[in-house]
Amino acid sequence: MQDPRNLSWFQFNQSRKFPLLHDCTGRSRDGHFTIPDDLLVGLHLSYSVGTGYGDPGGFYIGRIVYFESGLTLAIHYQEQGTSNSVLVAETTLAFASNQRTVALLGYGAGFLHGTLVFGETHGLASQPAGVWEFDRTAAAIDPFCLRPTAHEISALYVQNQGKTVGPFYGNVTLSAGTRIHLTVRSADNLLRCLETPLSGTGTEVVIGSPEEDTTGTNDACIHTLGGVHPDKYGNITILGRSCLNITTQPDQSTILLDDTCAEPCCTCKELAPVQEKIEELTRSVMSLESHLATLSLQADFLGQLIPSVT
């Protein structure tokens, strides 16, 4: 047995409630789901002070969506003595992935962000799948995991097609790519990560598509393909079946559709002489069949005469 004095921080946390408070049950409202002790082994959540999160003990795990290939965990906030709770951060873990440290994506004006570390998932095997809601007293987060910060941008995350990259710190440059332009302007409706209350002393970064082409090239995008609209990521999938083979030439912006079953071996001009020869052979066969029929009648007639001659 391993000496408990030699356990790492995460290994030690697999045998206790942390990052939940030690006296929490971790049981859902209906009592059918219990958060295993070894499922969560680390958590830190940063939030901006002065943005409505005055009670450090108000953060708790409010919902877990457990399904076959993963789970989604949501952190809620509820002031002491009130019944209203709000979603403040959320994350998703895919079991097929080797990743165990995932980013917490914050919601609202408090600029919440952080990370959640998952341990073992074996304990989930005895828990039923579904959507499970929790009360604050059952799944309260240990205040040790909370990081109150100044009301400013402390890190930048980039989320694209469900994948999150970051955090980025220090001086970060936003660079516009194809068909995107960035405009920095003074605005009344500032980014929520700026000062509170909102004022006109800061700037706002606006990301959008150009309204007109100023480069002299046609940058118009494809909105539909054969009347089919793209998915939420702007993609349209083309599938080939049976004899249809689909290949692409990205450097030439070309999609090739090849019929691998019925592609002709030659052109109509080359097929014409072949067709004439076939028709000529057909006529010759019909002439031979007629001649054979005549010879057959003559042979039968001779066969009837021979006995009478003898």
Contact call for residues 51 and 88 (beta carbons, < 8 A): no
- In this prediction, residue 267 carries a pLDDT of 66
pLDDT for 77 beyond 90: yes
For residues 211-219, average pLDDT? 50
pLDDT above 60: residue 218? no
Residue pair 47/154 in contact (Cβ under 8 Å)? The answer is no
Backbone angles phi, psi at 220, to 5 degrees: -65, 140
pLDDT in tens, 226-275: 778 888 777 888 877 777 788 887 777 788 888 777 656 666 777 788 88
Tens digits of per-residue pLDDT, 5-48?
656 767 777 778 889 999 999 999 999 999 998 899 999 888 87
C-alpha to C-alpha distance for 121 and 138, rounded to whole angstroms: 20
Q: What residues does 182 pair with on adjacent strands?
A: 207
Model confidence at 202, in pLDDT bands (50, 70, 90)? very low
Average pLDDT, whole number, for the chain? 78
Please give the average per-residue pLDDT across 187-214, as a whole number.
Answer: 46
Residues 174, 70: contact at Cβ < 8 Å?
no
Note if the pTM is more than 0.85. no
